[in-house]
Amino acid sequence: MEHTKLQCLCLLICSLIVLNGKSVLGGNQTSNENLGMVDLTILESAVSKGAVCLDGSPPAFYYDKGHGEGANNWIIYFRGGEWCYNVIDCLCRTKTEKGSSKLALKQRSFYGILSNNKTVNPDFYNWNRVMVIYCDGASFTGDVEIVDPVTNLHFRGARIFHALIEHFLAKGMKDAKNAILAGGSAGGLPALLHCDRFRALLPNSARVKCLADGSYFLHKKNMKEIPFMDIVNEGLIKLHHSAKMLPSSCIAKMRPSLCLFPQYFQQEIQTPFFIVNSMFDTFQINKTFPGYYEDLNNNTCSATLVKTLQDFKQEFLSALPKQSNCSSSRGMFIDSCLIHSQILSGVGWNGFTVHNKTIAKAFSDWYFDRSPVQLIDTPDMPLNCYKFPSVTSFCT
């Protein structure tokens, strides 16, 4: 009976995860990108290193080989998908690609920054482009040696990261001239946490930078209730033993769960990094203010909602890295779109703008040292950016 209840609960949770993914990602893609399908690669050799997904299956990725002038350049992109911070949720994930490479799609199309279309992605279209599936549930930070014989859950995200990077180094990344460690949502967090580790493994002569999309999760202070992210982070640290992968200087000053918030560890990152984020990120709005996302879509804009979102905006902006007109080590593209994660969408990468610059143009200018880029949008309320070029506010 208990086993049946557990299965039913897992099915319910999985359904909610799928629905949530659809609601926050938008799902709009451009139709003019001439993209081939990229095959899934299972990294069987990682198993001997203990680098496995939640269910013990090998890690996996999609790889499109670079060519021409991009042959020695690499983008490693980590997919996202929230976190599993309790046993029930982690068991549920083993029934999806979020916990098992056995269930990953055999092929995927690459959009946005991973597109092979020169017209829409002129700076990176011919690079070696990798998309890593997210199957550890802890932003590639966990490392627990013991496997529970009852659940057979493996918490080995940190080992997955190292095994994958070792593989790509052997495949030619050790000679990289340019490299980017990137990711979206929960997959963008390791792009920040592992940024310096990634830099240390590449040639000193290489241009190496990191990119986090929809991953600058805000720690809300002075809330009456315990915020969702605090609950997640505490559970994640305890279950996955993630503390040892966090910046030591941060955990020396505060409890480890806080050191999963970029605002508390970003100053310790030595490698240049770039943040793409909405100041009204739908994941944050959904989790911090339940019900407000639906109110916005229904144009039910009460005075309380307006003030709450404006206060949230100010708190988010104050948590960002300090701005400087001459700094090239910290780049940012902060828009007002009611959206979560943008650079893998053709629409987001080439459509959304801040001060007349697209994400693609802003990031490229920063990455190639053409100019410092610290773009922050000005609207007080979130915008419906999927209606561009006539972008409208949700609350008017």
Give the pLDDT confidence score for residue 157 in this predicted structure: 98
pLDDT in tens, 15-72: 443 334 332 223 333 334 445 799 999 999 999 999 999 999 999 999 999 999 999 9
Q: Flag whether pLDDT at 382 surpasses 50.
A: yes
Question: Residues 356, 362, 368, 374: is their CA dihedral positive or negative?
Answer: positive
Could you state, in order of their start, the residue ranges of all structural domains in the chain?
37-393
Q: Flag whether pLDDT at 223 surpasses 50.
A: yes
Domain 37-393 of CATH type 2.60.40: no
Say if CB 43 and CB 167 are below 8 A apart. Answer: yes
Q: Flag whether pLDDT at 236 surpasses 70.
A: yes
**Separation CA 229–CA 258 (nearest Å):** 9
- Give catalytic residues, as residue numbers: 185, 281, 340
Q: Flag whether pLDDT at 196 surpasses 50.
A: yes
| Predicted TM-score (pTM) of this structure | 0.90
Mean predicted confidence (pLDDT) in 105-113: 97
Mean predicted confidence (pLDDT) in 275-292: 91
pLDDT in tens, 309-344: 999 999 999 999 987 655 689 999 999 999 999 999
**Separation CA 281–CA 167 (nearest Å):** 34
Give the pLDDT confidence score for residue 391 in this predicted structure: 81
